[in-house]
Amino acid sequence: MEYTIQNKKISITVSSSGGELKQIAGADKTEYLWTGSAEYWPACAPHLFPLIGRLHEERYTYENRSYPLSIHGFLKDSEMIAESQGEDFLIFRLGSNKETLKQYPFEFNLGIEYRLAENTIEIIYNVYNLDQKTMFFAIGGHPGFNVPLEVGLTFEDYYLEFSESSSPRRAEPTATNLLNGVFLDYPLKDGRIINLSHELFESDAIILKDMPSSITLKSDKGNRAVRVDYPDFKYLGLWHTVRSKAPFVCIEPWTALQGFEGEVLKLEKSPDLKALKPGEEYRNEWTITIYE
């Protein structure tokens, strides 16, 4: 089921399937969010939990037991409960159940909140550990944004601009799209800018660390732009469908990365994962702001 909230500057539609954003429209009805297609990518903005990216052999171990888990985890395919809705907010919730326990051996409760503030969407994750043991997890977003955002412009007219000068490092691309432990310097134009081209994604996603916590999709030839702020996320993925002319770009804040080549992930031994003690709550927030 889909739910819509709006104010004078922005309207969003969210599905109970995965708590996924399905539409972001401005006051003039401009559509900012990629709405999916069979040709390029059927999703729009899935949430990633309890792990992010691919795993070697599509599985991991916990306390020497093996568990299957497909790319980006099960949240994106789970039906959430719409717990609460107001004029400017939506709250969705997923609790552990017999299906999640087959893939993830923890009792938990996960909330995703959407709140509108002027032209900004606040996206808030709340994870509660209801188990008697420490819970290990990663969480993140995967929204795609239309490029171009204005008639008469092209994909190549756009660029991504970080909020400040930096020297990020990129996970070295591999044939398996798994990690090999190598991070390479990723120079930015003027220390801040990535000019968009379809060729950027010939080797799949650009996965960065040591980058600023805000990035804007924009063009000097137009007025519309999208800014994503992710102050408490360690990594950023940038992606569109590999070796294609896909008219969108994904800006993905992550707390952790995919697995390593040739190595089955040991959940309790992964230093990147959040370790939530019994009875504790984890909260993280990121935002999407549109400009017209």
Is omega for the bond preceding 231 within 30 degrees of 0, making it cis? no
pLDDT band at 227 (very low <50, low <70, confident <90, very high): very high
pLDDT above 70 covers what percent of the chain?
A: 100
- Which amino acid would we find at residue 25? A
Six-digit token string for 110:
């996960």
Produce one character per residue of 143-178: b if its CB has 16 or more CB atoms within 10 Å, e if not.
bbbbbbbeeeeebebbbbbbeeeeebbbbebeeebb
Q: Which two tokens stand for residue 75?
A: 């949240």
Q: What is the structure's pLDDT at 187?
A: 96
Residue 120 to residue 115: CA distance in whole angstroms: 8
What is the per-residue pLDDT across 154-171, written as a single tens digit (0 to 9) for each? Answer: 999 999 999 999 999 999
| 3-state class (DSSP) for residue 171 | strand
Residue 129's pLDDT is what?
A: 98
Tokens of 118: 């002027």
Q: Which two tokens stand for residue 248?
A: 């969108």
Bridge-based pairing of strands 248-254 and 214-219 is unpaired
Coil/strand/helix, residue 98:
helix
pLDDT at residue 125 in the model? 98
In this prediction, residue 230 carries a pLDDT of: 98
**Confidence band of 225 (pLDDT split at 50, 70, 90):** very high
pLDDT confidence of residue 219:
98
Q: Which sequence spans correspond to the domains of the chain? A: 2-291
- Looking at residue 21, what is its pLDDT? 98
What confidence score (pLDDT) does residue 184 get? 97
Mean pLDDT across the stretch 209-236?
A: 98
> What's the mean pLDDT in 37-50?
97
Q: Which CATH class is domain 2-291?
A: mainly beta
Q: How confident is the model at residue 47 (pLDDT cuts 50, 70, 90)?
A: very high
| The 3-state secondary structure of 40-79, one letter per residue | CECCCCCEECCCCCCCHHHEEEECCEEEECCCCCCHHHCE
pLDDT band at 201 (very low <50, low <70, confident <90, very high): very high
Q: What is the pLDDT of residues 241-283, one digit of tens each?
A: 999 999 999 999 999 999 999 999 999 999 999 999 999 999 9
* Residue whose structure tokens are 């922005």: 10
What pTM value is reported for the model?
0.97
Q: Mean pLDDT in the chain?
A: 97
Q: Which residues pair with 287 in a beta bridge?
A: 122, 229
pLDDT at 133: 98
pLDDT digits (tens, 9 = 90+) for 137-153: 999 999 999 999 999 99
**Contacting residues for 38 by C-beta, under 8 A, at least 6 apart:** none
